[in-house]
Amino acid sequence: MSDWYVYLLRCADNTLYCGITTDLKRRVAQHNKGVAAKYTRARTPVTLETFTEVKDKSEALKLELKVKKQARAAKIDYLNRYREQLTRSEQ
């Protein structure tokens, strides 16, 4: 599996932000410094809510879009279910 991640951040105003990266720790730090996404710049501090690893950038982009299309209340569950299905399929 490659090192691509789809992640959800919880912003200081309790909104959620979805993104992709190859380095979670670095990316969360960038969000908190205000040098990542314009959306999170005014909503710091952010915390990592959940994430999943995917095989490549293409899959990460597709999953990011699917997560963003979910209702706010369903985003976390959707990403967690995706990760669980991925884990089961690897066994």
Tens-place pLDDT, residues 52-67: 999 999 999 999 999 9
Distance of CA 41 to the CA centre of its chain: 16
Where residue 73 falls among pLDDT bands split at 50, 70, 90?
confident
- 21 φ, ψ (degrees, to nearest 5): -165, 170
Q: Which fold has domain 4-90?
A: GIY-YIG endonuclease (3.40.1440)
Burial zone of 40 (CB within 10 Å; 0-12 exposed, 13-18 middle, 19+ buried): buried
Q: What is the DSSP letter of 30?
A: H
Asked whether the predicted pLDDT for residue 31 surpasses 80, the reply is yes
The one-letter code for the residue type at 31 is H
Q: Any bridge partners for residue 53, and if so which?
A: 5
b or e along 41-62 (b: 16 or more beta carbons within 10 Å of the residue's beta carbon)? eebeebeebbbbbbeeeebbee
